[in-house]
A and B are shown apart, each in its own frame.
Chain A
Amino acid sequence: GQQLNQSPQSMFIQEGEDVSMNCTSSSIFNTWLWYKQDPGEGPVLLIALYKAGELTSNGRLTAQFGITRKDSFLNISASIPSDVGIYFCAGPPTGANSKLTFGKGITLSVRP
């Protein structure tokens, strides 16, 4: 099946720093999604991307849909302690309608 690759598994940054993470696939995705999971909670949608090359912001978060349609990037600027959590990329496999494939996630830690 179509897989989404996220690495590294964990990232550690200092409060105030920017951080970038990416998600890649060997297959084309027509939609890219970024979710965040706070400790003890379910994932919450941060940003949705629907067009190759699209750049979308949500506060301090910016995500881009790669022009090859095989990757996406999420940038968090001026990190704060509440940015701690697991960040997942996700997308619907070809023809899957509502079904989503998720990456394995990146656990972000922010040092005060």
Chain B
Amino acid sequence: NAGVTQTPKFQVLKTGQSMTLQCAQDMNHEYMSWYRQDPGMGLRLIHYSVGAGITDQGEVPNGYNVSRSTTEDFPLRLLSAAPSQTSVYFCASSYVGGTGYTFGSGTRLTVV
């Protein structure tokens, strides 16, 4: 099915470990973004990209890196996991200038 695919769905990390959350879309969307969702905080933008080779910071970028080598993929890297990064992470994509985001089903990350 066309859409946004996120892997893994669940992950437990130890403090200090690194990992990459994967996001892929097959709709040829130029715009891709990562959000984290915490109770009572809504969705907060971490990083976004308007096309291959172009990335920028969102509201809460610290502790996260991104790259965009292809239109389809937008991985999110946690460099040294901290308990404060325990959250549900969503990837979303759209056409540039569009607002009808398509979201992935999320990755639930726990850092112990």
**Interface of A toward B, CB cutoff 8 Å:** 1, 9, 31, 33, 35, 40-45, 48, 88, 90-92, 97-105
Query: Quick one: which of B67-112 are within 8 Å of A by CB?
Result: 90, 92, 94-101, 103-106
Is A99 in contact with B33, judged by CB distance below 8 angstroms? Answer: yes
A31 to B103, CA, bound (A): 19
Which of these, A31, A42, A92, A104, contacts B42 with CB under 8 Å? A104
Closest residue to A1 on the B side, CB-wise?
A: B59
- Knowing that A41-B106, A42-B104, A99-B58 are A-B contacts, what are 19 other residue pairs whose CB atoms are under 8 Å apart, sorted by A's residue number? A1-B59, A33-B99, A35-B101, A41-B105, A42-B90, A42-B92, A42-B105, A45-B101, A48-B99, A88-B42, A90-B99, A97-B96, A98-B31, A98-B99, A100-B101, A102-B35, A102-B43, A103-B42, A104-B40
Is A43 in contact with B99, judged by CB distance below 8 angstroms? Answer: no
Is A104 in contact with B41, judged by CB distance below 8 angstroms? Answer: yes
A interface SS class: loop
**Interface of B toward A, CB cutoff 8 Å:** 4, 31, 33, 35, 40-45, 48, 50, 58-59, 90, 92, 94-101, 103-106
User: Which residues on A sit within 8 Å (CB–CB) of B98?
Assistant: 98
Is A98 in contact with B41, judged by CB distance below 8 angstroms? Answer: no
Asked, given contacts A1-B59, A43-B43, A104-B40, whether A98 binds B94 with beta carbons under 8 Å apart, the answer is yes
Is A42 in contact with B41, judged by CB distance below 8 angstroms? Answer: no
User: Which residues on A sit within 8 Å (CB–CB) of B104?
Assistant: 42
A105 to B37, CA, bound (A): 11
Is A9 in contact with B97, judged by CB distance below 8 angstroms? Answer: no
User: Which residues on A sit within 8 Å (CB–CB) of B35?
Assistant: 102
> How far does the Cβ of A37 sit from chain B's closest Cβ, in whole Å?
8
